[in-house]
Chain A
């Protein structure tokens, strides 16, 4: 019941926020804050109570609830989480609060509708992370898309219409493939068992012919890989990020991308084990290419938000790599990267948004030596860049290290190539620090000589401090998170079985072609 409450709070909070705008333009953000705090309370309660009281004893699932919805087609409102799902919920609600912090002073027009969209996006994401009925899952998949589209299209920057449309089309087309694949699966369930079903556990029993399995699996894979995004489906992301308002970027990078990775772990591989196993070399090659290609693209950008966007794609490559290594190290690495990248990229986008707010430009060529003027903001930027470089002691390192460690067991050559991404990450991250914060101080055009940009406000400082603490926690004692996601991942590994052992470079190359 508690999961439905969580979703309901966000939906209702959004509606209430919209309605409250009529009373006072500042009311919606307060409503949003209350509903997010309430959600955070629920999620933390779930974490602390450990699921022992609510979960199935001995199983890896903590909370499972199901109500019939459209019984004729075997569609039910069934939701549930395990440790992995819980971690994703914590990340979602926490970053929801951060996005709220980013929007707090930035959004001044049509506030009610903005917070409505913000909360509904979050509700959709929570639904995606909890749904165990594939029809319901797809419903939430669409729910999180449309409000996000509106956020970019209405509150975005100069080229927002193009970016929003691109985002919408990419997600919609890949979503269509996902829907087709889901329907196929339900149909084959009907063929084999005589009834329609969209239930996650029931669909795992469907046995597909090899050639069908590959095609249906590809539907799932493309649907999720677009969201992740994986090379070469990434090209919507830089536009969406650079045009979205800060809060939108925070949600996109921090949360929405993770739904793609979650979908791969939860659905794609467990539903299609054989097809996934033979597809793994391709997926890992895609990951390696994405890591290097997008790191190189990031280095070439002048627009600071575009740059961070490309780094996101590069880092998501490590997630993809870890998932398709399909062993405990790789999966834990993928999960830790999702969490840590959620915080670090959200913080970096907030910092970029903060710079744009102060300097009215995203062009790094117009910035220089800001450390002298904005020491706190610069120190924060340094911290989160260092986190993104994968400095041990911070969360991103744990994720990337485990991903690569797991991937090494599956393919040495692909891992060695992907590890070059560690060098590239240093190149582009330090380049940003140099361009923007070091060097002689230069007053950007468009900022009056008298108007010296102000350093961090209290709201900003609190947000950054919380995210920084989160990264330190993940880096110094990741056990809190690993222990939570471990049983669920082990369950998945047992159900699916390990992919075949070492893949030679020839096999990987052959697979890629």
Chain B
């Protein structure tokens, strides 16, 4: 089966080509079938490859389809490399990807652009598979840019609304800043090591560079630039909340389960370089910590159901970065996997809510939906429990590993751990705030501008099996996914072995109790019966106090980062462009023209037809010439 590895991205790519060339004339059922079916085929193949991989004892495998280009010593191929890490990734991408495609056949059933939607989705899956299978950094970059393009196309999928287009452009340009840093990193690696083959780099770098040398730090930092862009970490996180403008399945697939974790994958894949640059690795941990706290606080203040989930995604990827930063590579990959399950579940459930409420996004205009939307309610309950890391859910196991690893960090362990635990508290607070506000309390949908009485009666849950089945599977995985063992030990074996951290009983108790405590607080603020009275009252008091109000606004606006970037980058660029629209260089040449014209008119003026004038100039000229001759 491993011989057929090239077919993994080829199936969805073929789907993309078929759908794109059909020019929208394909029957809708066929379009859905091709769209979901191609990814389904990929999943089956990925599963077969995984079984073969595991039964063969986890030996890595490499296959070159063709040599891409050959210039000097640069010889990247269309070559795929399979090891434990890429096996996990292809299963997540094709598996979760297939479920989301299936869900989309229901979710997008009435959209006129169905074929276009699935063509972009398929292209995305193909690029993402190339990204994780690439055995060299150039091919990885192809997948990397490809997923960025698809993300752009799908965020702006409903193109007639200019704000969607803005969000899409913002996503592409902001991530491109990171991509450019990564490209420069590639140039640096190539100029130093003479190769871009990942495995060769991982072997050569420790031989040629000493730990902490300038080159190693520069290379790791440049790659980190790419990773923070794609994974929406500080300081390039601003694009992800806006990316929620796309259809909800897109948010589930691209902006939660797969693409945004590409940065985590990149760092895990090139972990040797980060081990050679301890300062950069520590930076990764602190970026993760800062991001997870910042996004956690921000999620607390959001009203839009998808933006809450978006900030939650940023925050959870922060946990993965924290894990990477303390060298807990496999814990990061483990959390990547469980996060893909429960975050996809949450987004798809959110999609069901949004669809049932006629595209209402504001959670304070929902309420009491647990009876009207039981499936969404259950999904949210399961997903939020896993997100909060309540005991025995998948998120519990993965977050536990990360926090223990953080504690074991020699210098700053206790700080990283405390920050992570505070983040876990915030996670519990914002995720159950969402659950309680949407599914408990009084029904506010009737009062919303969208929901007149008629629409209110029409709140019926969509029971389309194509949408129900993915929720079920993802729900089961969110609960039990923690039992899956990610087979990545061999990949990170040659790194510094992270010893099994043994923490005291107290630490364990704290880590179990803090999320539960968060849920309880959340219940008192938003969920309990007197929520309408007491909860609302205390929240109001909080918001009206000067500090509370300021923090609320500050966090709601994403800590003012957008404003800052607008002020520092966007406005000056646009202003400069407007000022110099006519190109000052061209003015220079216009002066030459002007000068020639002036000279011309000056000479023209002498041609007066006046005989006396001619005679004088004749004499004058003669005198001049003669005097020149005499002087000589």
Contacts and interface: CB of A to CB of B under 8 A. Distances in A.
Q: Do A and B come from one complex?
A: yes
Interface of A: 166, 231-232, 234-235, 238, 296-297, 299-301, 327-329, 332, 369, 371-372, 375-376, 379, 386, 391-393, 397-398, 401-402, 404-405, 408-409, 412, 415-416, 419-420, 422-423, 426-427, 430-431, 434, 437-441, 476-479, 482-483, 486
B160 A440 contact: yes
Contact of B71 (A234, A402, A416, A420): A402
Interface residues of B, number: 51
A391 to B, nearest CB: 6
Nearest to B24: A375
Contacts of B145: 391-392, 397
A415 B68 contact: no
Given A375-B23, A386-B149, A431 B179 contact: no
B146 A392 contact: yes
Contacts of B198: none
B589 A235 contact: yes
A378 to B, nearest CB: 10
Contacts of A441: 160
Nearest to B166: A434
Nearest to A310: B583
B23 A479 contact: no
A329 B159 contact: no
Nearest to B71: A332
A294 B123 CA distance: 32
Given A300-B581, A423-B176, 20 more contacts: A234-B585, A235-B589, A238-B583, A297-B580, A300-B580, A329-B72, A332-B71, A375-B23, A392-B145, A404-B187, A415-B187, A416-B184, A419-B184, A423-B173, A426-B173, A430-B168, A434-B166, A438-B156, A439-B162, A482-B71
A483 B74 CA distance: 13
B361 to A, nearest CB: 21
B578 to A, nearest CB: 6
12 contacts: A238-B583, A296-B573, A296-B577, A296-B580, A329-B74, A408-B190, A415-B187, A422-B183, A426-B176, A430-B152, A434-B166, A438-B160
Contacts of A476: 68, 78
Interface string B553-584: 00000000000000000000100111011010
A252 to B, nearest CB: 18
Interface string B157-178: 0011010011011001100110
A487 B581 CA distance: 43
Interface in B69-123: 69-72, 74, 78
Interface in B265-303: none
Specify the main secondary structure of chain A where it touches its partner: helix
Interface in B367-419: none
Q: Which of A405, A422, A437 has the most CB of B within 10 A?
A: A405
Given A296-B576, A296-B577, A426-B176, A371 B71 contact: no
Contacts of A431: 169
A369 B166 CA distance: 14
Interface string B504-546: 0000000000000000000000000000000000000000000
Given A372-B160, A431-B169, A422 B576 contact: no
B600 interface: no
B160 A423 contact: no
Contacts of A327: 72
Contacts of A234: 585
B577 A297 contact: yes
A235 B585 CA distance: 7
Contacts of B71: 328-329, 332, 402, 482, 486
Contacts of A393: 142, 146
B183 A404 contact: yes
Given A376-B23, A392-B142, A393-B142, A482 B160 contact: no
Contacts of A434: 162, 165-166, 169
Given A232-B585, A419-B183, A426-B176, A405 B74 contact: yes
B146 A482 contact: no
A386 B78 CA distance: 21
B589 A392 contact: no
B183 A430 contact: no
Contacts of A420: 180
Given A235-B589, A392-B145, A434-B162, A478 B183 contact: no
Contact of B187 (A232, A408, A423): A408
B219 interface: no
A441 to B, nearest CB: 7
Contacts of B581: 297, 300-301
Contact of A405 (B149, B180, B190): B190
Contacts of A391: 145-146, 149
Contacts of B190: 405, 408
Interface of B: 20, 23-24, 66-72, 74, 78, 138, 141-142, 145-146, 149, 152, 156, 159-160, 162, 165-166, 168-169, 172-173, 176-177, 179-180, 183-184, 186-188, 190-191, 573, 576-578, 580-581, 583, 585-586, 588-589
A461 to B, nearest CB: 11
B176 A300 contact: no
A405 B187 contact: yes
A439 B188 CA distance: 41
A478 B160 contact: no
Contacts of B191: 408-409
Nearest to A330: B71
Contacts of B160: 369, 372, 438-441
A426 B156 CA distance: 15
A212 B578 CA distance: 43
Which 4 residue pairs of A and B lie closest in terms of their CB atoms, listed nearest first?
A392-B142, A300-B577, A408-B187, A438-B159
A409 B190 CA distance: 9
Contacts of B573: 296, 299, 427
Nearest to B178: A423
A415 B184 contact: yes
Contacts of A486: 71
B184 A231 contact: no
A412 B185 CA distance: 11
B188 A235 contact: no
Q: Which of B146, B166, B172 has the most CB of A within 10 A?
A: B172
Contact of A482 (B70, B141, B152, B179): B70
A422 B146 contact: no
Contacts of A232: 585, 588
A219 B460 CA distance: 77
Contacts of A332: 71
Nearest to A233: B585
A395 to B, nearest CB: 11
B425 to A, nearest CB: 38
Contacts of B187: 404-405, 408, 415
B139 to A, nearest CB: 8
Nearest to B590: A235
A231 B586 CA distance: 11
A483 B67 CA distance: 12
Contacts of A439: 159-160, 162, 165
Given A393-B146, A430-B173, A422 B180 contact: yes
Nearest to B159: A438
A102 to B, nearest CB: 22
A445 to B, nearest CB: 20
Contact of A427 (B149, B173, B180): B173
A300 B578 contact: yes
Contacts of A422: 176, 179-180, 183
Contacts of B146: 391-393
A438 B159 CA distance: 5
B317 to A, nearest CB: 23
A231 B585 contact: yes
A143 to B, nearest CB: 25
A419 B586 CA distance: 25
Given A420-B180, A438-B156, A408 B165 contact: no
Contacts of B74: 329, 405
